[in-house]
Structure 1
Amino acid sequence: MNNLACVYSKYFEYEKTRELLTESSRGLFQTLGPTHPDTLIAQENLAMVYNDLGGSLRDDGHSIMLDVLAKRKEKLGKEHPFTLLAMCHLARTKADRGDFEEAEALLYDGLAVAKQNLGETHIGTLYGKTHLGRVLLMQRRYGEAEDILVDTIKKYELSSAARNGEHPDRLIAMRALDRLLSRAKQDPRGDRCF
């Protein structure tokens, strides 16, 4: 059910995604418990759908991510890849709420560990860098965001998870770079990146 919900989210059918993830999270919580890895994955996915849906659900998503991160740190440790993913997702919820400093700090902290433990071209490191670029874009720090996104797009080609130099997450970075270039041309208040 959780995996099916993720398919619906790729087609931007967020209400159906939310419905499936709510049921999946509830069932996993009751069956496997609140700290089981599958329960936390379902809750994390639900939090990100809440974030995408926005409005008051965004606060619910933020609360869920705080809980998921705390449980992963306790169960897996601060440097585990799933803990780092939770840090990235919490940063996304913070940025979308306007808490840019906290989001940036979470991403920089997580990236330092990811680079050391996973390497520069690991898909998890690149995912974190993509979202750091997105946070910088939201703050109109176009030059910094462009540098990070261009570097990230290039490194996706070197990732062991890429097939023939391509990975679906690379599209997220390319989309963020496209938004950046469009906004930077029209925004006299942001720094210049070209």
Structure 2
Amino acid sequence: KLKRGDYEKGRELAARALEIKLKKVGEDHPDTAIALNSLADCYLGLGNLEQAETFAQKSLTVRQSTLGSQHLQTAYSLDTLGLIRMAQGQYEAADKRLTHSNSPKNVW
């Protein structure tokens, strides 16, 4: 059973989900982006900001190319990148990402 805050177990599960998604639907698919963003969230929770950024950026790239820049799921990736920037102390970059992810056109 996965407990809240168990980022290592979450990372293992998200990595497995990514592996499955890559085999089933390929790299450029919204479902793959979900697994990528989940991995980013886990790495953020573990404090591995470099890995978190890598997976969050990949998720954002896939979502922008498959869903568009105004889609809600794209906003989730922007939100994750904003949180990573905050953890890195890059507050101006974080503000830009978080503001864009919460803009009304991304919510609806």
1:56-76 deviations in Å (ceiling 9; x for gaps):
x32111111111111111111
Once residues 112 and 66 of structure 1 are traced to their aligned partners in structure 2, the CA distance between those partners, rounded to angstroms, is 18
Per-residue deviation, 1:133: 0.4
Match of 1:126 in 2: 75
Once residues 39 and 64 of structure 2 are traced to their aligned partners in structure 1, the CA distance between those partners, rounded to angstroms, is 19
> Residue 11 of structure 2 is aligned with which of 50, 62, 65?
62
**1:74 paired to 2:23:** yes
User: Percentage identity across aligned positions?
Assistant: 27
**1:158 paired to 2:105:** yes
CA contact (8 A) 2:30 2:62 kept: no
Once residues 27 and 74 of structure 2 are traced to their aligned partners in structure 1, the CA distance between those partners, rounded to angstroms, is 15
Once residues 58 and 95 of structure 1 are traced to their aligned partners in structure 2, the CA distance between those partners, rounded to angstroms, is 9
TM-score by length of 2: 0.90
1:143-169 deviations in Å (ceiling 9; x for gaps):
100011112222xx124x62xxxxxxx
Letter in 2 for 1:92: D
1:120-152 deviations in Å (ceiling 9; x for gaps):
111111111011101111111111000111122
Match of 2:42 in 1: 93
Once residues 104 and 133 of structure 1 are traced to their aligned partners in structure 2, the CA distance between those partners, rounded to angstroms, is 10
**1:103 paired to 2:52:** yes
TM-score by length of 1: 0.52
> Residue 148 of structure 1 is aligned with which of 58, 72, 97?
97
Query: Rg bigger for which structure?
Result: 1
Once residues 111 and 138 of structure 1 are traced to their aligned partners in structure 2, the CA distance between those partners, rounded to angstroms, is 18
3-state secondary structure, aligned to 2:105: coil
Residue 137 and residue 122 in structure 1: after superposition, are their counterparts in 2 closer, same or farther (change >3 A)? same
**1:139 paired to 2:84:** no
**1:117 paired to 2:66:** yes
Letter in 1 for 2:20: K
Unaligned runs of 5+ in 1: 1-21, 23-45, 163-194
